[in-house]
Amino acid sequence: MDTIQFRFELRDLAEVVPWGSAETGLTLHWFGLTDGWYDVIIGEHRLFGGPEDPRGIDYQVVRLWEDLIEVAPSALAEIPAVLHARLANVDAWKSWVEKARELDDRDELVTVASSWWFERQLSAIHLVGAPALQLWRMGDELRIHWHSSPRAANGSTWSSPNGNAVVMADAFRQALIDFDRDLISAMENRVTEIERGWRRSEITIDVEHLRREQVDRSTWLERALLSPRARAWDEVVDAVLELERRVGSSSLE
């Protein structure tokens, strides 16, 4: 069984780049103050790490945090065995989904058959060619599949361009909780420091709003995990079977 970790490091407060310009005004807020580096480590694979910076991708850490909170309730909800069987070859399934979505007579059936899949996708469209992850649960196991594209025309790639892993669902949940607690704690220290005296006077911060947002965001993960997403799986399976009659099998068999 593989392990999973979400690592991050915040940039020194004095070096955080503000938003805006000297002409329009420089500002910072909770999102921008999470400026730093982050990485996802699955087993021995570092999805965002590389020779350019061993700390991971240089971006606002909150983006990974928000994306994980969005996908976690679906990823942790078990899918039916009949759908899990169709993911034995993920590339074949992905091709089938795209084929179904390109139907000339595409209708609500396609949405019902495929929306559950996209709810379990952790994309990184804000990063050029970055790994996109798919996560789905069967029993106590969480399956993870990722695929990366070249970063640039020279063919350079991310550390782990493609991969598959299996982690315990409880281990994924705990890793996410640890990430959440560590980020909220680090930001609590940052917000408190700013409340004591903001030294970069050229950059505007609404300190009262910053504190309110800190309090609010500290509840996001708990609320998400307490609100599992219900789905009418019988309708999904029926939609997949009907689409298979139109466009062929979703497996290689």
DSSP 46-73: ESS-BTTBTT-EEEEHHHHHHHHHHHHH
Mean pLDDT of 115-123: 93
What are the helix (H) ranges across the chain?
A: 61-75, 81-86, 90-101, 108-118, 169-196, 207-217, 220-225, 233-247
According to the model, what pLDDT value does residue 51 have? 61
According to the model, what pLDDT value does residue 252 have? 41
Angle, alpha carbons 213-183-212 (nearest 5°): 10
* Sequence-separated (6 or more) residues with CB below 8 Å from residue 48: 38, 39, 40, 56, 57, 127, 130, 131, 158, 159
**pLDDT greater than 50 at residue 155:** no
Most confident by average pLDDT, 48-57, 101-110, 206-215: 206-215
Residue corresponding to tokens 């609500």: 108
Mean pLDDT of 110-134: 86
